[in-house]
Amino acid sequence: MFAFAPVWDGYMDIDDLRPGSMRRHVIGIAGSYGGLNVGDEAILTVAIADLRATLPEAEIVVFSRNVADTRTRHDVDRVVPAREAMRAEIQSEVERLDLMLLGGGGILYDREAENYLHVTRIAQQLGVPTATYAIGVGPLERRSERQEVVEVLNRMRFLTVRDHQTKRLLEQIGVDRPIAATADPAFLLERLPFPQSLLEQEGIGKERHLVGMSVREPGGAAGDLQADVYHALLAHGADFIVDRFDADVLFVAMERQDIREAHRVIGQMAFPERAYVLRGQYRPGEVAGLMDHLDLVVGMRLHFLIFAAVAGVPFLALPYARKVSAMLEALQMPCVDGVERAQTGPLLAAIDRMWDLRARVRDHLVQRLPALQRRAALTTQVVAELLGEDPDPERVIDGWDERERHEHAPAAAA
């Protein structure tokens, strides 16, 4: 359902300057970009759009894991191979920057943090100002990687993270730079039309309810379950949806390997003929637009759940990572208990209750989302402040907090 480009095998860039433009700033951004994950591409889509709107003269340089994919998908000025290029090539690009952004997304975790810190470390060695862009962090159990994260982040001008759990973790491991908890940029993703004709091309009619599911490999909260037990548990949930609500189930892959996991779940269903796997290649905004066709979402992938929340679609999160629980905390939404113990009863009961409460949950999401979206927009405001003549990003955050308190304070008694 998402275009996964082939591995890039050569250097590509975009014209240094667009005709008639005057560049005031050059901004670099590095993360898990290059078509590997729908959620990460959603983050980059929003980051570029917000930077273009806030700093229209700026040149945007993306350090990507797949240059061809990023160049095709996104409106950027230059794309640099973050992992294949030699240090001298990266250095020549980095030294042009006025600001190097690390993020967004959950990119600092065990066994990968060093790779994602590489370009940022070069920037710091060259004296280029650095900051994070609504990142997520963790798990970070390995002492060596904790030390690396602390070392690099403590040299930054300012940190924005996507949730309060990330802020607490960074403070616990020794990061002492100012940290602002904003929100995941994907809360600001523009939803693109997903017409019924596309569903029909996927073989899905509109005569029944449609429930979206997102599954991934066993891990996180369900990490101790054997694969067949894990797949059987999810198959029971899918069968319950089919039988109880007379609904079809649509599996939506957010990463390539999710397709395999979806087929393994379907293989254990009693009603496999009522399950579909989205096959088309769609942009993040289109996947977000798909939510308009769904009556309910049950899933694991963070950004699949965020897309549902933004569309006002009731969702039930199956826990697997800190970042999902942090999002649920921000939205004041429930989480399923018992999945990690392969307990079918609590899962089916939670699905049943969420179905019954759909109208109430929609209203709840409509009430909770605006504040989160305003916080998400703060991330780019901080970037603009960092590029000002007398930067004070804490002033931006404090000003927002004061406005929120004033606008939402209880009215004074007459």
pLDDT value at 218 more than 70: yes
Please tell us whether the domain made up of 26-188+374-397 is placed in CATH 3.40.50.2000.
Answer: yes
Return the pLDDT at 35.
Answer: 82
pLDDT value at 43 more than 50: yes
Return the pLDDT at 243.
Answer: 98
Instruction: Write the pLDDT tens digit of every residue in 169-193.
Output: 999 999 999 999 999 999 999 999 9
pLDDT value at 16 more than 70: no
Burial of 411 (0-12, 13-18, 19+ CB in 10 A): exposed
Return the pLDDT at 402.
Answer: 82
In the chain, CATH 3.40.50.2000 covers 26-188+374-397, 196-313+315-356
Please give the structure tokens belonging to residue 115.
Answer: 């790779």
pLDDT band (50, 70, 90) for residue 336: confident
Return the pLDDT at 364.
Answer: 98
Please give the structure tokens belonging to residue 365.
Answer: 């999401």
Please give the structure tokens belonging to residue 385.
Answer: 């402040």
Cβ atoms of 106 and 137 closer than 8 Å? yes
Return the pLDDT at 19.
Answer: 39
Under DSSP, is residue 323 helix (H, G, I), strand (E, B) or coil? Answer: helix
Which segments of 195-308 are extended strands (E)?
209-214, 247-251, 275-277, 296-299
Please give the structure tokens belonging to residue 158.
Answer: 């300012």
Cβ atoms of 225 and 234 closer than 8 Å? no
For residue 298, what are the β-bridge partners? Answer: 213, 316
What's the mean pLDDT when you consider all of the chain? 90
Instruction: Write the pLDDT tens digit of every residue in 50-107.
Output: 999 999 999 999 999 999 999 999 999 999 999 999 999 999 999 999 999 999 899 9
Least Cα distance to 55 among 392, 376, 385 occurs for 385
Integer CA distances (angstroms), 48 to 42, 77, 216, in order: 10, 11, 28
Q: What would the mean pLDDT of 205-232 be, rounded to a whole number?
A: 82
pLDDT value at 403 more than 90: no
Q: Considering the entire predicted model, what is its pTM?
A: 0.91
Return the pLDDT at 321.
Answer: 79
Please give the structure tokens belonging to residue 188.
Answer: 């600001």
* 222 φ/ψ sector (left φ>0, alpha ψ -120 to 50, else beta): alpha
Task: Report DSSP state, residue 357.
Answer: T
Q: Which of 141-150, 195-204, 229-238, 403-412 has the lowest mean pLDDT?
A: 403-412
Return the pLDDT at 220.
Answer: 54
pLDDT value at 219 more than 90: no
pLDDT value at 353 more than 80: yes
Q: Which of 226-230, 278-282, 393-397 has the lowest mean pLDDT?
A: 226-230
Question: Of 401 and 342, which is predicted with more confidence?
Answer: 401
The dihedral through the CA atoms of 205, 211, 214, 219 has a sign that is negative
296-299: strand order across its sheet: 275-277, 247-251, 209-214, 296-299, 315-317
Vertex 46: Cα angle to 41 and 48 (nearest 5): 95
Instruction: Write the pLDDT tens digit of every residue in 372-389.
Output: 999 999 999 999 999 998
Q: Name the superfamily (CATH) of residues 196-313+315-356.
A: Glycogen Phosphorylase B; (3.40.50.2000)
The dihedral through the CA atoms of 169, 158, 379, 57 has a sign that is negative
* 342 φ/ψ sector (left φ>0, alpha ψ -120 to 50, else beta): left
pLDDT value at 340 more than 60: yes
What would you measure as the largest C-alpha separation in the chain, in angstroms? 70
Please name the residue ranges forming H helices in 140-205: 143-153, 164-173, 196-201
Return the pLDDT at 335.
Answer: 83
Return the pLDDT at 361.
Answer: 98
CA distance 82 to 182: 26
CA distance 7 to 34: 9
pLDDT value at 4 more than 60: no
Half-sphere exposure for 73 (CA within 13 Å, toward CB):
29
CA distance 179 to 167: 7
